[in-house]
Amino acid sequence: MRSPKDFFAPLAVGAPAPVREIPASPSRMIHFFDPSNEKMAAKVPDLAAKTDVLLGNLEDAVRADRKEAARAGLVSIAKATDFGATQLWTRVNSLDSPWVLDDLITLVTEIGDKLDVIMVPKVEGAQDIHYVDRLLAQLEARAGLRRPLLVHAILETASGVANVEEIAGASPRMQGISLGPADLAASRRMKTTRVGGGHPGYLVRSDPAGDDLHSGRTTYQQDLWHYTVARMVDACVLHGILPYYGPFGDIRDVVACEDQFRNAYLLGCVGAWSLHPVQIDIAKRVFSPEPKDVAWARRVIAAMGDGTGAVMIDGKMQDDASVKQCRVVAELADALAARDAELKAAYDKATEEALA
């Protein structure tokens, strides 16, 4: 563990100084593509126009015999594409794999100036982040980079969950953490074979009306990921970094995908992964506050003046705490509206109507 005095010192001579605050650019969807897949690669320029984050994936879902092609593909795509305001991220192979060292050396030295964030899978504890932190500093110095790369950890091992607070605070490079429900389920020996989402067997049942235990009892499916997402959100907030829901593997079930994303949004996550183009708009919709909620938040903020005291609006009590809740929604809306004219118009129209 570095001393608090050295926390923001560069870890290699010539490496750029670490950032003191994580940039709050929109990252409602982290869209995954396989840079070795020609069809997906061809779509990257179009996808850059409609996603907040594009991520060139080198790890799971890329076949072992395509790892080098994926790495080389990402280098060419990054060099050839103008991403505009969209961030470019990558997910490198796991730290115990035969590919990760070349992934990091190649990507940082060839396209370090185009990359924003490096996602590290299967993080077990702070030691994994410390390893990547020092190596990135050495490579940044070698490449002459002026801006430090940020690091994102996937929470997908039982040990990672047990150590999530120390992972979140392991380095000033830590940008955020995503839930990895597939590897996490395997690591914990959970008995679900689904990639994220609920399970019909994980439920609670209402009490029986009488002696008949078998009929008339409603069941409610529960969220398998509630505990982990909530814990991840707290760890991220504690260290000033951003929490994300990860993948939803049932691409066809756009309805349950939206539900899972919304649960994560309501619990504090800022975005989720999209694995297929059909999930991009779902994430955009869910992780952008609804116009009526923005209008309400702005109305409460306006009515609360300096933010202290208590007022009644439409029969609901508002005070110093509820105005803070409203500021969360209003500030997110302002940040998204600054980049999205359509959203800005919808927020402003709803606010005008609410204040009329």
Ligand X SMILES: CC(=O)SCCNC(=O)CCNC(=O)[C@H](O)C(C)(C)COP(=O)(O)OP(=O)(O)OC[C@H]1O[C@@H](n2cnc3c(N)ncnc32)[C@H](O)[C@@H]1OP(=O)(O)O
Q: Does 128 bind ligand PYR (CB under 6 A)?
A: no
Taking residue 300's Cβ as centre, other Cβ atoms within 10 Å add up to 21
Closest CA to 198 of 127, 250, 135: 250
Query: CA 142 to CA 159: how far, in whole Å?
Result: 33
Q: Does 69 bind ligand X (CB under 6 A)?
A: no
Q: Is 199:221 a contact under the CB 8 Å cutoff? A: yes
* Range 200-239, binding ligand PYR (CB under 6 A): none
**Residue 156 annotated as binding?**
yes
Q: In the set 20, 39, 191, 252, which binds ligand X (CB under 6 A)?
A: 39
Q: Which residue has the tokens 């590919």?
A: 99
> What percent helix, strand, coil does the chain show, rounded to 5?
45, 15, 40
Query: CA 343 to CA 303: how far, in whole Å?
Result: 24
61 vs 302 by CB, closer to Mg ion: 61
* Range 238-267, binding ligand X (CB under 6 A): 247, 251
Closest CA to 20 of 150, 130, 141: 150
* Range 138-167, binding ligand PYR (CB under 6 A): 154, 156
User: Which helix (H) or strand (E) is 235 found in, with range?
Assistant: helix 226-238
**Residue 133 annotated as binding?**
no
Return the range that interacts with ligand X (CB under 6 A); candidates 4-12, 97-105, 225-233, 270-278. 270-278
Q: Provide the minimum distance between the beta carbon of 75 and ligand X in the complex, in angstroms, as a whole number.
A: 18
**Residue 91 annotated as binding?**
yes
Q: Does 330 bind ligand PYR (CB under 6 A)?
A: no
Query: CA 143 to CA 273: how far, in whole Å?
Result: 30
String of contacts with ligand X for each residue 272-311, x by CB under 6 A: ---xxx----------------------------------
Q: Does 183 bind Mg ion (CB under 5 A)?
A: yes
Q: Does 43 bind ligand X (CB under 6 A)?
A: yes
Strand pairing report for 219-221 and 203-205: antiparallel
Residues comprising the chain, all counted? 356
The annotated binding site is made up of 91, 156, 183
Residue ranges in contact with ligand X by CB under 6 A: 32-34, 39-40, 43, 57, 60-61, 182, 195, 247, 251, 275-277
